[in-house]
Chains A and B, each alone.
Chain A
Amino acid sequence: MSGKASSSQHTVGFSGSGGLSHVYIQYPPLRCRIPGSRGLYYDDGSKLLLGPTSNQVFSWKTVPFDPHVAPTSDSISEGPILSIRYSLDAKFIAIQRSSQEIQIWHRETGETFSHKCRSESESILGFFWTDCPLCDFVLVKTSGLDLLACDYESKLLDLVETRRLNVSWYVYTHESRLVLLASGMQCKTFTGFQLSSAGIVRLPRFEMAMAKSEANSKPVLAAEDIYIVTVYGRIYCMQIDRVAMLLHSYRFYRDAVVQQGSMPVYSSKIAVSVVDNVLLVHQVDAKVVILYDIFADSRAPISAPLPLLFRGFPRSNTSSSRFSGKDGESAEANISDHEAIIYGDDWTFLVPDLICDVANNFLWKIHLDLEAISASSSEVPSVLEFLQRRKLEANKAKQLCLAITRTVILERRPVSMVARVIDVLVSNYSYSIKTGSYLKGIKVERTSISSGAHVNSPRSSANISASGIDALGKSYEHEPSARVENESLNRSSNISTSDSEDEAHFESLKNTTTSLQKLDRENILGAESASNEAQPSSSQSQHPGLNNNPLNASVSERQELQLASPAISPDEMYSFVFAPVEEEMVGDPSYLVAIIVEFLRSTNLEKIKVHPNLYVLTIQLLARNERYTELTLFIINKVLEPSKEVAMQLLESGRQNFQIRKLGLDMVRHLSLHHDYVVLLVQDGYYLEALRYARKHKVTTVRPSLFLEAALASNDSQLLAAVLRFFSDFIPGFRNTSDHHTYHRILSEMNSAIAT
């Protein structure tokens, strides 16, 4: 089982790819060029990239990200398009036609109806679809929020509720379900609503901090200075303070907004992305990106600022030939001067991890280079902690963790340091077991989807999926003052109360993706279909080939779970760390024994079972060094827990040391392996003890001839007679067997020989 996987592990080394960057975009991009395009819009609710032409809308799925995905198209009527979004069930298309009018389009029938503002004084800032139970559609106007329900039969949007307040601009992301409404002179007073599937939560009004450059100037906060960010299931707001050159962060709780600290910025243009719960702050002017992992309270960056790397560009024309067809030529031409376009002016950052190159109609997905990140730090335990939190490339993170662990052991780093490494891995595994993301992830997901009652539990927040809408378009913005509605990032999560925060972060992004797809199609999809959908997405990535774990019946589920978490089980620790390390290590094994003891300590603290193979390995190591005293202590104190494997290894090692063999025998007896025990007693020559034991525990599986042969070999007629008599009494019908006849004859011969 381990052969293939372990060979692949060795290729994962400490050396990153070039080491010059921690974040990269992978060639090829998703090309979304269509003739007659009137701009690109990103809908974070349905995760679609939309490219309307005069009478059609082309849409590209961005999740899962596939550069070769073909667009689907819908016909629409002609007219101006200020913004466009698909409904979450993908049945309707909503198009903002003017600052007063929204047009709704039914995709199947092609029927349309319009919704207009009642008074001329208010204008539409933007809109979005929601899965909030109260309404389907939210209209953000300068005068407040209109919550509307879509009534297809009567062809209108029913007003459910109105929240009146003055709005200068707003920010919304679907993944957070949070809409922030800016008001006031400086636009720094915020009112927030979370329209989650649990209902509407109104956040307390709060103000953002802004430094003043001089006494009388009051900077005005703009929509592009605000980012709603979802990491580890928590919702943050990042605010750029251009005067202080700081990026402030605020954390949203159900009942409070708490400022969390600030990070310096080094560029006048800043963009924020989130990849796999890592916060990426793009310093656009400096053309570098800084990574933050705000899991802990630390606001220190993960590593030094490094540029975004462009990966996989085909150097020769031959390799580009795999891209067939019509867009090949022009695309190559555009790509070829890619050096110039990294952090170009045409880049728009979409939520959470996409970049749209508006000029070339390219869509890039941002990736983390985990190898490079892990190679950049020498503080191994914290690197592992970071890797263990990664969900997007869980398999890669896992392989890296295994490789790093192997390396620190092979390099014979101090035991205390390796112990901390092991603690990180074990506690993460334990946590993933508890939260269910390692083995029971599927089950959790099912319950949260199928029963509405659970929907507002903290855990479900991460299951509700990520999706995002962003109209690409600042460059398409018509009225700079009001048309900022479209920038937003999006992953769903509840605003968590402070005590529930940690629940969510272990949920995998894969699961999230799964449920996202579900949301795209049908809100009330059953659990079965949800997990079915999961399979294609998981099967396309490689998994380490450990599917023999008996704990899980369904292979397909297992595969998905494998990828759901980089947590490393004790079995894997044995197969991919201790066993290979033991093979490679030369010299005194006491160091490895020390490491194993630390591992046992760690697993014992977390109450995790250890694979008996590890115990067997420990016995081999100790016996090889003839450290029988210690081995005895290990067994007596049950540091190595009793099991058949352990007992057998003790018997094996006991060939050199009778004491150890006895321990093995005792263990066999304690484990009630009656048959083995009787056979072993016979082997050691304790026939009568074996017989007595067989009688007491009713062991009938040992062949009588085994005893009879042994008794005969002892050349003691008394012993033979005793054994023969025993079986005659103990086994009904023994008198009629050939064994009885044979040995009875032998016995009488022996007796007569003695008599004469």
Chain B
Amino acid sequence: MGLASANTSSEGMQLCVFDLRRGQLEGQELDKILFFFPADLPFSTQLSVIGLSEGLITFTRIFSPEAACEVIEAERHSHVFYEAEPDIWMVMVVEKSKGLEVIWRIDALREVLKEVHSLFMMFNGSIRAMLEREPSGGVIRSHLYPFIMDYMSDFLVGKKLQLPSFRDCLTERGTVQMLTVGREAAIEVQSLVRVLESCAGTTPCHSLIFFQDLLVSTTVSPDDTINLFTYAVLRLTPRALSSGASSWSYLRKGSTASHVAAGSTLAQSASVSEHLYRSHDNSPGRDDSYHVKRPLQHDKWAKGKDGFLVTDIWGAEIGSSVTVSPTIWLRQTEERVYLCAYQYKGLTLILLIPVSSILNGEQGVSLVKQQVLENASLKMLKVEEKLSKGWGGENAYHVSGYRYLLVDDDRNISRASPPVKVTTLTKESLLAMNKLREEVDLEKSRAKRNGVDQEKDLEICIRAKNNAWVIAHTTRGKELYMVLEKANETLLYASDAVEKFSNRYCGGTFSLD
């Protein structure tokens, strides 16, 4: 049965989604469970996990109605809470063990929950809305299960689920990595964006442009940008499409080969779960013709002849081989849009066409695609040429001597040393950095709770056991984390190093005095 039943349950990772507004009557408790992993756990165990979580939430709400429970640290487990939507909670339970490999940073785990929920919302709309449409909960369960399982398959390395650990302390989930472009290329890109904008006639289209796995341009809100960036890097960019190629992005681990295997095991477990759910799901509205989209399924996107990416995830029109164009929800405008992805060499382009502006469905979409090809092909060629000329490769943002993570909280952008370079750090350094980040996280959430709207400066330099400097520096919405190994022992050296880095790569943000 593979991972789903055997490994993971023993490994002790549990993930559940439940609705506090459901199942409040005796005997109907099962109703509140919307998702549980591993699915083959007895309901009693599932209910006890959820019951504990529910109890804690109710209790902590007495003191803090706005932000209830965030985390429980028990002796052998950590429970990470995330209130995805009002009264809809996601809880991840991870087992603490003596082994080093399972030292987490709680915020990083919470980011995982946040990410999967955001992606789910993008494709399906909110959980609450689905529940309201179909109160029995069958539909939401049948959507959530494959979606989250597909999402988790990206964390599989071999047959093991590998959640973000201390080794990932120099990455930041839920941020976007951007390509640095020169002015000339930026203007060309903007020129292309303007052409794309007007492709669907009077209603302006949104667009995102990627180069390799980096974002070049976006016209949607930061939240939507993050979602689309995540999805693109996971499934759409050239590296995501070509099987076997590994990515340097934190979003994708391992190779697709393992995905295939894992996909099948997870699929098996999905069938198990469906069976399980059906057993206590007596909703009549559930019929087999209802199509459950699995946008995170692997190897479902391919490059078409015209350069547009095609997929059958959204099904095909009845009686024809024409696949249905994907649609997603934009969070900011609450608008449904067609998602058209086009690829030319390293350039990936996502065009978002408001559904309301297309009157005749697929025909209209293909008409817009035609327009894009006619109007923008030349510009795309030019942009690709310009960008690849200025592209420094995977290690373009490596700064020798430094291992760093730079986060811009305002713009949700991060930049970090390439993972290959981070792996050269010793465990001690990484553990120290992980610890430091937890401290900073704590400090940040404290400031947020106290409602201080001023962002405090924070500067911490720690001399780790292995004679490395581990540095955190936050100032006005920007965070810089840095590990300097084999460094000189004076503090002056450390602060000089930060200053140099700041002046050179951050426009002097961290060297104000």
Contact = CB atoms under 8 A, between A and B. Distances in A.
**Chain B CB within 10 A, most for which of A419, A597, A658, A695:** A597
Contacts of B449: none
A594 B375 CA distance: 14
A453 to B, nearest CB: 40
Given A637-B181, A639-B183, A686-B454, A601 B477 contact: no
B191 A598 contact: yes
A637 B477 contact: no
A692 B411 contact: no
Given A590-B204, A597-B194, A689-B457, A633 B512 contact: no
Contacts of A634: 190
A588 interface: yes
Contact of B512 (A598, A629, A662, A689): A689
Contacts of B512: 689, 692-693, 696
B507 A670 contact: yes
Interface string B453-490: 01001000000000000000000110000000000000
A415 interface: yes
Given A416-B375, A601-B191, A689-B457, A662 B218 contact: no
Interface string B184-222: 101111110111011000001000000000000111111
Contact of B513 (A591, A593, A659, A695): A695
Contacts of A594: 191, 194-195, 197-198
A662 B476 contact: yes
A629 B220 contact: yes
A627 B194 contact: no
Nearest to A667: B507
A52 to B, nearest CB: 66
A669 interface: yes
Contacts of A658: 410
Contacts of B476: 662, 686
Interface in A580-608: 588, 590-591, 593-594, 597-598, 600-601, 604-605
Nearest to B203: A588
B153 interface: no
Given A662-B476, A670-B507, A638 B195 contact: no
A629 B219 contact: yes
A632 interface: yes
A334 to B, nearest CB: 60
Given A662-B410, A693-B512, A639 B219 contact: no
Contacts of B348: none
A71 to B, nearest CB: 60
Nearest to A690: B512
Contacts of B507: 666, 670
Contacts of A693: 512-513
Contact of B218 (A604, A605, A629, A659): A629
Given A588-B204, A629-B221, A597 B190 contact: yes
Interface in A630-651: 630, 632-634, 637-639, 641
A597 B509 contact: no
B195 A604 contact: no
Contacts of B509: 666
Contacts of B198: 415, 590-591, 594
B225 interface: yes
A685 interface: yes
Contact of B454 (A591, A666, A685, A696): A685
A650 to B, nearest CB: 14
Contacts of B194: 415, 590, 593-594, 597-598
Interface in B270-325: none
Contacts of A639: 183, 186-187, 190
A200 to B, nearest CB: 50
A627 B190 CA distance: 14
Scoring B187, B193, B218 by chain A CB atoms within 10 A of each residue's CB, the highest score goes to B187
A751 to B, nearest CB: 25
Contacts of B454: 685-686
Contacts of A662: 410, 476-477
Given A590-B197, A629-B220, A604 B513 contact: no
B244 interface: no
A666 B476 CA distance: 11
B251 to A, nearest CB: 21
Interface string A417-435: 0010000000000000000
Nearest to A593: B194
Interface in B349-400: 375
A685 B454 CA distance: 8
Contacts of B222: 629
A633 B513 contact: no
B187 A415 contact: no
Contact of A600 (B182, B187, B457): B187
Contacts of A593: 194
A659 B411 contact: yes
A604 B187 contact: yes
Contacts of B513: 689, 692-693, 695-696
A604 B220 contact: no
Interface string B149-191: 0000000000000000000000000000000011110111111
B2 interface: no
A585 to B, nearest CB: 15
Interface in A386-445: 415-416, 419
A5 to B, nearest CB: 29
Query: Counting chain A CB atoms within 10 Å of each CB, which of B197, B198, B507, B513 scores highest?
Result: B513
Nearest to B180: A637
Contacts of B65: none
A601 B218 contact: no
Tell me which of A590, A629, A689 has the highest count of chain B C-beta atoms within 10 A of its own C-beta.
Answer: A629
Contacts of A695: 513
B300 to A, nearest CB: 29
B51 interface: no
Interface string A655-695: 00011001000100110000000000000011001001101
Interface string A543-569: 000000000000000000000000000
Nearest to B219: A630
Contacts of A666: 507, 509
B376 to A, nearest CB: 10
B510 to A, nearest CB: 12
Given A590-B197, A594-B197, A637 B219 contact: no
A629 B215 CA distance: 13
A590 B198 CA distance: 9
B179 to A, nearest CB: 10
Given A629-B219, A633-B218, A597 B410 contact: no
A416 B225 CA distance: 28
B401 interface: no
B135 interface: no
A712 to B, nearest CB: 18
Nearest to B192: A597
Nearest to A603: B187
Contacts of A670: 507-508
28 contacts: A415-B195, A415-B198, A593-B194, A594-B191, A594-B194, A594-B195, A598-B194, A600-B187, A605-B184, A629-B221, A630-B218, A632-B411, A633-B217, A633-B218, A634-B190, A637-B182, A637-B186, A638-B183, A638-B186, A639-B187, A639-B190, A662-B410, A662-B477, A666-B507, A669-B508, A670-B507, A689-B512, A693-B513
List the 9 shortest-distance A-B pairs measured between CB atoms, nearest first.
Answer: A637-B186, A594-B194, A692-B513, A601-B187, A597-B190, A638-B183, A639-B186, A659-B410, A601-B191
Interface of A: 415-416, 419, 588, 590-591, 593-594, 597-598, 600-601, 604-605, 627, 629-630, 632-634, 637-639, 641, 658-659, 662, 666, 669-670, 685-686, 689, 692-693, 695-696
Given A588-B204, A637-B181, 12 more contacts: A419-B191, A597-B194, A604-B187, A629-B222, A630-B219, A633-B186, A634-B190, A638-B186, A658-B410, A662-B477, A686-B454, A689-B513
